[in-house]
Structure 1
């Protein structure tokens, strides 16, 4: 989001080590505000070991370090309530409970965006209920949507038939989340919102080198568009394009900057 010209801060925790210095440096050179970065007195900073196949598919092995030890006392709610959008992603350990506690301090004006990822999807709907009830924008891939919600809605609706990704998204939307966006990889994106906009947007054809940051890149493009007030179709198109740029290079090196994004938007 910062690369796309949005004023961005980050809530996370690092230790006094080489990895922490690198994480801090990468945030700084990308103009991310460090006001909410937490510095641990001991422990180690998080690390991710990534493996990428010749086809661009990836597997990640995570040692979260102190980033999984964030407590609610280390987060300044005044800073959080000063933002337009608060985006939640997933943690392995105790930081999940800090996320839940932080919800109690949020004002209604803060838009909550949530990408649960497989780590949180495996927790199930009941464990995520407090976050889901406060979520305004749900960003989730098709496989995670099915794992998280299919059995839940089969039981709730008293049916045995398989539910499509659209069925699931519509039910989630009807249960109160304003905007539901389903990331479908090579099949593009589907989205529905409280304005009764419903879109299916195809993906951009490209040669994938590394899909590591595809989902988060999509999220950044969508949230940028949301802040700009674009309609759902344009937002998903921009999100797909940002994701397509990301997968054509290793790691996050393919993420576009604001000039590149604005040049693309002019073609729409």
Structure 2
């Protein structure tokens, strides 16, 4: 994956937020007494994971001219993530998320994203990014939910393709961020023909192809983990038919399935662990996979690296703040069966 002239590895585009995680693991949301302040947003999480693994990484998002924006930027700078493509958005607020932790299967989320800065990045902001200096561009599906960030993402992907960069889409379905869940699928299907690698859970892949809102059920306010009915194999085939070269289907503790445009399907086992908090596991997977992909590894080995990153993060009470380093991941893999 060498590219002449680059001096940066990964650019991620989309959400950034302050994440307030319950300090009372296992408590009902109404009984929470306090929160730990972390950072989040899928592209920010992935950028952090990539940076900790040793990739030179930049984040393209927006923050408000507020203390929360300062909090996010301070974290990014401490993580050696390039922040020069992050504008302050006048009149907007940095977004926030409040999260409960009730393992094994309840992780309620409350988003505060009205007038949020990361949804107001524009094509003018995107024109300041030197795409030709990167090796890979990653974008988040949630960034397509509203203008101007929707057009900005399409513009950035257009520029990435112009410079022959691999493009990665984290499908990233958050049902309550869309005025109509069918609009999510319409936008995802519009961008998929421009994408080389798509990553999603079974639920996110079904959401990309759903026809009826009644297919979506959310219990316990688990916005990131809805129940979606449908034919998963049909949805996979429909995504591949749109031109995606590689589709990675995340299947939790069962690992990842790799679907390639040539018809090849490869199963990659996960690393079974007892999770404390499943939020952020998918973002950790993406960062581990991207590391392996950019280092020229086989898809199997890159996904195994991704699975290891995800398994480590589910043992922790947060997302970006707990992404593993390269040394930690390699040791974890060695201790748990190897590649």
Q: TM-score range by the shorter chain?
A: 0.7 to 0.9
Aligned twin of 2:150: 96
Is 1:116 aligned to 2:171, yes or no?
A: yes
RMSD value, Cα = 2.4
Distance 1:26 1:57, change over 3 A: farther
Q: Which runs of 5+ in 1 are unaligned?
A: 153-161
Aligned twin of 1:209: 276
Distance 1:163 1:247 in 2: 27
TM-score by length of 1: 0.87
Q: Does the aligned pair in 1 maintain the 2:132–2:163 contact within 8 Å? A: no
Give deviations 1:16-75, integer Å, cap 9, x for gaps: 212111100111111101121111233321111112213264222222321111111112
Distance 1:28 1:103 in 2: 25
* Paired residue total: 259
Distance 1:197 1:31, change over 3 A: farther
Give deviations 1:191-214, integer Å, cap 9, x for gaps: 122465421122211121111111
Aligned twin of 2:220: none
Aligned twin of 2:257: 190
Aligned twin of 1:157: none
Is 1:145 aligned to 2:198, yes or no?
A: no
Q: Which moved more, 1:3-12 or 1:254-263?
A: 254-263
Q: Which runs of 5+ in 2 are unaligned?
A: 1-49, 213-228
Per the TM alignment, residue 151 of structure 1 is displaced from its structure 2 partner at its CA by: 5.1
Distance 1:223 1:29 in 2: 21
* Equivalent of residue 221 in structure 1, options 282, 288, 292: 288
SS at match of 1:88: strand
SS at match of 1:210: coil
Counterparts of residues 63-82 of structure 1 (less than 5 Å): 63-64=112-113, 65-76=116-127, 78-82=129-133
4+ aligned runs moved over 6 Å, structure 1? none
Question: Which is bigger in relative contact order (C-alpha 8 A, separation at least 6)?
Answer: 2
Q: Does the aligned pair in 1 maintain the 2:89–2:120 contact within 8 Å? A: no
Counterparts of residues 245-260 of structure 1 (less than 5 Å): 245-252=312-319, 253-260=321-328
Counterparts of residues 20-35 of structure 1 (less than 5 Å): 20-35=69-84
Give deviations 1:131-166, integer Å, cap 9, x for gaps: 1110000001101112322659xxxxxxxxx97534
Give deviations 1:156-187, integer Å, cap 9, x for gaps: xxxxxx97534432442243211100011122
Aligned twin of 1:134: 194
Distance 1:6 1:219 in 2: 13
Q: Which moved more, 1:240-249 or 1:12-21?
A: 12-21
